[in-house]
Amino acid sequence: MHFRVASIAVVLGVTACVKGSPDEPFSGTATLAWTPVRTDVSGKALQDLAGYRIRYGTSAKAMYTIVTVKDPRQTTYVVKDLYPGKWYFAVSAYTTSGAESALSGVASKTIK
């Protein structure tokens, strides 16, 4: 089964990244939002959408961190604890049978 993911948009509010001590996590965040997947590539209604997978990292070619969103109705997610630098994000959808779409376009955000 083939289906597509609409584009992902990163809300570009700049969030400070401050650490009070070496044991505290970084506090940079990126809010991601995407259009829900409703059809497969042939235009037929997608009945078995299970959720989304968000991939992110410090390179568009190395988005190795994966977050699974298990609610197919959820179309936003906040990535937390990002350290300063440029981060890249993409999303894919997956079905109950395990089929996964291609990645959306890659979005980026710089954390200061």
- Would 2 be classed as within a structural domain? no
- Would 62 be classed as within a structural domain? yes
- Would 3 be classed as within a structural domain? no
- Would 76 be classed as within a structural domain? yes
Task: Count structural domains, the chain.
Answer: 1
pTM over 0.95: no
Range of the domain at 71: 8-111
The strand order across the sheet containing 65-69 reads: 65-69, 49-57, 85-95, 107-111
Rounded CA-CA distance 66/41 in Å is 24
- Would 1 be classed as within a structural domain? no
pLDDT one-digit tens code per residue, 20-70: 556 655 678 888 988 888 877 777 787 889 999 999 999 999 999 999 999
CATH number for position 75 = 2.60.40.10
- Would 27 be classed as within a structural domain? yes
Tokens 């079905």 locate to: 95
Mean pLDDT across the stretch 2-12? 46
